[in-house]
Chain A
Amino acid sequence: MTAVLALAGCGGDDSGGSQGAGVKVESAYMPQPVTAAMAAGFLVIENDGDTPDTLRSVTSDIAQDVTIHTTSGQTMESADGDDRAIPAHGRLVLKSGGMHLMFEKLKRKPKEGETVSLELHFTKTGPVKVEMPVKSATYRTASSSSSSSSSHQ
């Protein structure tokens, strides 16, 4: 495990923080895409609060369009509300072979070593900014080598 990241996803200009707990984003990365036409992004959203939340949408200044998809078997489909739920004290995992962010029509091709800024929008929690590092095209998190990673319903 060579990659050690330190990243901060700041809760925008939300200065109050009336509730101490909330959603946190971890393990964000984008594999360096092949072209600027399309890229994927992966991350883990952790909810340490007592109320469930839902990832509503994602925006990024680098792409015209960021959508949330699930690789299901051999196809990719739009992830619906249930898929995007983050249970109280639970997590939502976007990982290769499963759910992912899909960036389309990027302004430029992100390169390994760069970071891509995005903003996650939730049903309850305020927007969360994420600096997503661009990794090599073949980057895998330690967990994704699990032999069951290709199993879908």
Chain B
Amino acid sequence: MRTNSPKKTYAAAALLAVCALTLSACGSSGDDANAPVAEVSAESGAAKAATVLDKPFEKPDLVLTDTHGKSYDLRKETKGKPTLIYFGYTNCPDICPLTMNNIAVAKKEVSKKLPKSELANLRIVFVTTDPERDTPKALGEWLKGIDPDVVGLTGDFATIQAGARTMGISIDPPTKGKNGKVTSMHGTQVIAFSPKTDGGYVLYGEDATVEDYAKDLPKLLKGEKP
């Protein structure tokens, strides 16, 4: 869908990075000063992070195991509550922790402005795509480093996969490579469910920032469109 060539993105990234940072490697003699100063007019007005769906997803009927080893019925536990769901795994260095931290930090920022009662209902749910490695204990330890209030769910892979599929998220089971390393898949988006309808009505991609979530959360808490 998005067709921007990664190369182009990288080049722009590098140029911008040059503006932001001054670094030098002293291996070479001092011609660094001649390094071109990049002038970049960044494309401002980036697209909105949130995608509001015309036809919301039904909340998947998932009964999994939480980080305390207890059965967790997603529909029952999150009924009538604003809920964010993301599928990922803890052995993931980049996107999974970034996504979860973005939400956690945004929640913290919003908590400074809103009464506690408004945030109390928010449910942030992290469903593992790598249940074999992400035991309740492993999930719990990982989430503690992000936000201990996040609900971490694990269980049978096929169940998780089927649940993800109902929301347009396709994940394959982890595979083990020749070197014994496991490759897992993370979901591509965070889905927000409305407290009014329990429908998944807003999607956030991987590039949604803390600011995006912080801006939208007050609306998501009420089931409004961001």
Contact = CB atoms under 8 A, between A and B. Distances in A.
Nearest to B27: A11
Nearest to A144: B13
Contacts of B117: none
Given A25-B23, A98-B6, A151-B9, A74 B17 contact: no
Nearest to A141: B17
Interface residues of B, number: 61
Contacts of A34: 90, 97, 101, 142, 145-146
B82 to A, nearest CB: 21
B97 A8 contact: no
Contacts of A138: 98, 101-102, 105, 209-210
A77 B95 CA distance: 13
Contact of B13 (A17, A28, A126, A146): A146
B28 A97 contact: no
A43 B31 CA distance: 21
Contacts of B186: 74
Interface residues of A, number: 69
A125 B146 CA distance: 39
Interface string B82-108: 000000001111110110011001000
Given A1-B19, A17-B28, A143 B13 contact: yes
Interface of A: 1, 3-12, 14, 17, 19-28, 31, 33-35, 37-40, 44, 46, 48, 69, 71, 74-77, 91, 93, 95-98, 100, 102-103, 125-126, 128, 136-138, 140-153
Interface of B: 2-4, 6, 8-29, 31-32, 35, 42-43, 46-47, 90-95, 97-98, 101-102, 105, 141-142, 145-146, 170-171, 183-188, 205-207, 209-210
